[in-house]
Amino acid sequence: MTANLIDGRAIASQLLDELAGRIVALKKRGTQPGLAFVRVGEDPASKVYVGRKEKACGDLGIYSETHVLPETTTERDLLALLARLNADPRLHGILVQAPLPPHISQPTVYSTVLPEKDVDGFHPVNAGKLMLGDS
């Protein structure tokens, strides 16, 4: 069996080009794609990851906003923020960056993001559809 090397950069570039075209088409129809990032705490890897996603949004012309909450944020306050983001018509996606502090329930948080705005696919509805091959 021969191993096939794939060029990850070329594949990523092709995907980004396709995505850019879809974004242009949406904008022509009057829709400005919007994405919210939510980060709790100051995890260094999370800061880098969200920063790269913010840059990608800027490069592609996607509206984005980032919400950084302190490590001591209560679950109640985080869920209230997610409820506001769910209701915001400018936002089509919400990404809650893991890890979350231990006093915050990840399943509760992931269940709070509307399935249609769940970028990661962690909402139980989306995870279930994926398991059933209906993604």
Q: Which residue of the set 43, 77, 88, 120 is catalytic?
A: 120
What single DSSP character describes residue 26?
Answer: H
- Assess whether 120 carries a catalytic annotation: yes
Q: Which residues contact 97 (CB under 8 A, 6 or more apart)?
A: 37, 38, 39, 40, 46, 49, 50
pLDDT of residue 30: 96
Q: Which residue of the set 53, 55, 106, 117 is catalytic?
A: 53
- Assess whether 106 carries a catalytic annotation: no
**What is the distance between the alpha carbons of residues 32 and 99, in angstroms, rounded to a whole number?**
29
pTM, to two decimals = 0.90
pLDDT of residue 132: 92
Q: Could you tell me the domains of the chain?
A: 33-131 (3.40.50.10860)
pLDDT of residue 123: 93
Beta strands of the chain (E only): which ranges? Answer: 34-40, 63-69, 93-97
Show pLDDT as tens, one digit a residue, over the chain (135 residues). Answer: 788 899 999 999 999 999 999 999 999 999 999 999 999 999 999 999 999 999 999 999 999 999 999 999 999 999 999 999 999 999 999 999 999 999 999 999 999 999 999 999 999 899 898 899 987
pLDDT of residue 100: 97
